[in-house]
Structures are given as structure tokens and as C-alpha cells.
Amino acid sequence: MQINDKIPLIFGVPDVSFYETLKEKKVFVAELRPALEGMNVVAPVLLKNKITPVLICDNMLGFCMKQGLVSKVFIFTPLEKAAVLKRGLLPLEADGDSKPPSVHTVRELRSLTGFTHAVSRDSVLCRTGSLIAALLAQEHKIPVYLFKAKTLSVSRQASLLKIGNKKVTVSSIKTYVPLFEEVPEILIASNEVTTYRVKRM
């Protein structure tokens, strides 16, 4: 499909509360490799809300912004301010039901996210690729808005050597799939999430 007007770009997996804030009828949705949450988590919710998802690959963000097709960029962070931040512990929300909230130590969060160092004070933790989106947006003078992400889920299990469960290439190839990266707050126009930062250890 040829796109001629400016529409927003969603990079990441929004919490369900995000979708009702969208006024536009069409939005770019980054597909999010390797698990393709853009296609199979974000797009269905948009369709339910009568918004047309325009899927793009994660490498198309720059082109779309340079061509003047992007009005704003939405990125998402899974971390939310806790009422009480227990020393060494990070509360993360459970996935929607009545199960008690899962609580992870920083060590566990590091292994879940692939981080080998604590998140710094002036940045937020977002889905890998969000930094690309934010830096490109800065270059092209497009505002970046931060919202709450759907909590960490099965992304970790997806293999880069496959797509839709079909093999893409030989299994002996080494892969590196970092799930999260830090995005400096200075790149964010408006922060709709009261995030908290992990203090440097």
C-alpha cells in the first residue's frame, strides 16, 4: 500500500490502555522481530478499535520519517512507578489476572533483559529498536511520546532463525537478540508514564 499522509508510528507493544488515546484511523506498526508482536499482538487490537495497522519492517523507520510520512512516534516502557520501591527488588505487573504481581530481583531483570549494567538515571528501558526510533525522530523533528508497555511476555522464546515458526536459515548461525535498550529521556517529548529508574548499582 502506498502511504501519502502523515500518520503515527507505534514502536513496541503498548499496554491496552494506550489504544483508546489514538485518534488516527491509520498507523504505522513496526513488526518487531523476532517474535513479530507488531503483527500478532498490536495489529489485532488496532483492528478491533477500527484502526488500520500499516505494518513495516523494523528497518523502515528512517525511510518513513525522511519521506515525511510520520506525524509522531510512540515508544513504550514496561516499568512503572511503584508505591514503594523495596531495596533490590523491582515489582512488575502480572499479565492481567488475579495472580499476585511477579517480583524480580535486579539480577533476574538483568538476565531477562540482557542488561549487564543497571539502567541509568536519565533514561528509560524500552523495547530494542526504540532508540533507533527516537534518534531518527530527533533528526527529523518528530515528537516522541512514551507510554506504558504491555508487560514482559513470550518475546524471549522467539528465534531469530525462524519466522512464523518456519525456518529461515541454518541453525548453526550465532544470534544476538537484545530485547531492551535504554532511551535517553531527553529524546522524549512527553512522558505519559511515571517511570522510575533503577539506581546505579
Partner 1 sequence: MKESILFWPVRLKGNTLYILDETLIPKRIVTIKVKNYKQAIRAVVDMKTRAFGQFLTVCYTFVLELKKTTLTSKEEQMALLKKIALAFNSSRPTFPFEEVTSMMLGFAQKVYMSTNFKEDFIKMIDGFLEKGIRQKRYDRACQAALLLKDGDVVLTHCHVSGEMSLIGEFCSLQKKRVKFFATETRPYFQGSRLTAWELKKSGLDVTLVPDNAVAKLMSDGDVTCVIVGSDRSAENGDFANKIGTYQIALLAKHFQIPFYVLAQPSKKLISGRDIPIEIREDDEILTFEGKRLSPRGAVAFYPGFDVVENNLVTQHINVDAN
Chain residues that interact with partner 1, rule: CB under 8 A: 1-3, 28-34, 36, 39-40, 43-44, 47, 52-64, 66, 127-129, 131-132, 135-136, 139, 160-161, 163-164, 166-170, 172-178, 181-182
Question: Which of 118, 163 has the CB closer to partner 1?
Answer: 163
How far is 41 from 15, CA to CA, in rounded Å?
11
Question: Which of 28, 76 has the CB closer to partner 1?
Answer: 28
Instruction: Work out how close the CB of 114 gets to partner 1 at its nearest, in angstroms, rounded to a whole number.
Output: 9
Instruction: Work out how close the CB of 82 gets to partner 1 at its nearest, in angstroms, rounded to a whole number.
Output: 26
How far is 29 from 119, CA to CA, in rounded Å?
26
Instruction: Work out how close the CB of 83 gets to partner 1 at its nearest, in angstroms, rounded to a whole number.
Output: 31
Question: Which of 58, 93 has the CB closer to partner 1?
Answer: 58
How far is 11 from 183, CA to CA, in rounded Å?
13
Question: Which of 44, 101 has the CB closer to partner 1?
Answer: 44
Cβ-Cβ contacts under 8 Å for 10 (sequence gap 6 or more): 27, 28, 29, 30, 38, 42, 74
Going from the C-alpha of 49 to that of each of 7, 25, 139, the distances in angstroms are: 16, 9, 31
Strand partners, 75: 11, 146
How far is 46 from 50, CA to CA, in rounded Å?
6
Question: Which of 163, 189 has the CB closer to partner 1?
Answer: 163
Instruction: Work out how close the CB of 103 gets to partner 1 at its nearest, in angstroms, rounded to a whole number.
Output: 26
Instruction: Work out how close the CB of 125 gets to partner 1 at its nearest, in angstroms, rounded to a whole number.
Output: 12
Instruction: Work out how close the CB of 198 gets to partner 1 at its nearest, in angstroms, rounded to a whole number.
Output: 17
Cβ-Cβ contacts under 8 Å for 2 (sequence gap 6 or more): none
How far is 125 from 77, CA to CA, in rounded Å?
6
Question: Which of 118, 135 has the CB closer to partner 1?
Answer: 135
